[in-house]
Structure 1
Amino acid sequence: MTDTYNTTSSVMVAADLINEMIPPLKSNDSVKKALNWMDAFRITQLPIVDDNAYKGIITEDMLYEINNPDATIAAIEPFYEDVFVGEDQHFYDVMRLATDHNLRIIAVVDTTNLFVGVITVRDTLAAFARTFANQSAGAIIVMSMNYRDYSLSHISRLIEENNTKILSSYVDTDPYDTNLIKLTLKLDKTELTPILATLERFEYRVIAKFQENPDADIQKERLDMFFRYFDI
């Protein structure tokens, strides 16, 4: 489940996030070649593509199960052949698929289902972070709640009572508990103390917060924390 609320007009789609540096493997490539590519690109998953058709994803663990580095990967049955996005799908869809299937890459196909390229989850989260960062100064909070308790209108009203507005929001299912959702909010203020107190008073649980700092090194540290929070 994914829901978004955004006051900006720009929309980043899958085609904008394709990582041109990561090539697909072919079924007749060797295990050694696949492992070397994974090491070179610091990634543990790669797509398999034959004649421009996406065949699925192969993982580092699957390759290590084959003791012969000269063997081809044709003997390995790739996973997630039906997990991909179209070129015009929103980058939130990429995040949802990656979370649902515990993937580090997502394949992109065109309207005829031919392989176009691959997106890494880290690139997607970087785009997600830039979407927040490119708006006016403010903080980010992440809330956890039962789906039945989710009401963006109620949460917005509580936040606006503290003279603060929601600039963007992102809702996704908690990968560890499908009864829970995570709500990420970008606010137009950096002072969170009264907002957190209000949310706590109404029994909303804030599990993470990121307050903007003008220092570039601290901003990088906060972004790295953001990535670690999403286990990237």
Structure 2
Amino acid sequence: MKINDKAKMALSWMEEIRTNVLPVVKEGQFLGFLSDDLIYTLNTPEMHVGEFEFDSPACFVYQDKHIYDVIKVASEYGLNMVAVIDRENQYMGVVTMEDAIGAFADTLSIQSHGAVVVLSMFMTDYSLFEIARIVETENAKILSSFISNDPLDDSKIKLTLKLDQTELRHIKATLERFGYKIIDHYQEEAGVSEEQDRIGNLLRFLDI
């Protein structure tokens, strides 16, 4: 949106693209986001966009940043889109959370066939090289990994692994034989659409 546009135009665009916020730009500079809540609260559809107080002017990433940064910033500000600017602070566009999740899923091999196994351990016991060596003894490979805090024990980490095998029985047994604690696992299900499978696998992988 430009500052000379009217609020009623902003609402029309929000409805058309199904969002509750729009970025506001002045002379190529990102100013922040205008929300539909603010427009409805003031109840002045003829008001120009530039007359509003914008939200989250720091909700942006530089164009050379990784998709991790987009998701991190969106989470911090609670918005479904993040502005993108170049190193001269010129506005380039926005990345929606839908686009970010799709890109994030690709980086984690989410669409690849296989299963997910979740381990709990102390950080001092974490060695991806050692775990990969154990997994490979069962003719499997780790496609991607993800570390987060163990919700059951603050002193431990939770290691989520995406494997290239759908059968986990022997892999789980071998990991447990080497002293690793398995707290969860997910195996592929048949008959799920590609889009459902993509989203479901990502949410299971991130344990959201």
- Give TM-score, length-normalised by structure 1: 0.67
Identity of paired residues, percent?
34
RMSD: 3.6
In structure 2, the residue matched to 1:73 is: 49
Comparing 37-46 with 139-148, which one deviates more in the overlay? 139-148
Find the aligned partners of 1:79 and 1:44 in 2 and give their Cα distance. 12
Larger Rg computed on CA atoms = 2
In structure 2, the residue matched to 1:139 is: 114
- Tell me if 1:167 matches 2:143: yes
Find the aligned partners of 1:102 and 1:119 in 2 and give their Cα distance. 14
User: CA shift at 1:197, angstroms?
Assistant: 5.9
Provide, for residues 109-154 of structure 1, a one-character-per-residue CA deviation record: whole Å limited to 9, x for no partner: 11201000111111111122234156xx432537486985783526
- Tell me if 1:49 matches 2:12: no
- Tell me if 1:104 matches 2:76: no
Q: Which consecutive residues of structure 2, in runs of 5 or more, have no partner in the other structure?
A: none
Q: Which consecutive residues of structure 1, in runs of 5 or more, have no partner in the other structure?
A: 1-24
In structure 2, the residue matched to 1:205 is: 183
- From the superposition, tell whether residues 219 and 53 of structure 1 become closer, same or farther in structure 2 (CA, over 3 Å): same
* 2:117 and 2:182 in contact (8 A); partners too: no
Find the aligned partners of 1:40 and 1:193 in 2 and give their Cα distance. 49
In structure 2, the residue matched to 1:222 is: 197
Provide, for residues 3-26 of structure 1, a one-character-per-residue CA deviation record: whole Å limited to 9, x for no partner: xxxxxxxxxxxxxxxxxxxxxx12
* 1:143 and 1:183 in contact (8 A); partners too: yes
- Give TM-score, length-normalised by structure 2: 0.74
Query: Whose relative contact order is higher, 1 or 2, with alpha carbons under 8 Å and at least 6 apart?
Result: 1
Query: Counterpart amino acid of 1:223?
Result: R
In structure 2, the residue matched to 1:185 is: 161
SS in 2 for 1:85: strand
1:142-157 matched pairs, under 5 angstroms:
143=118, 148=123, 151=126, 153=128, 155-157=131-133
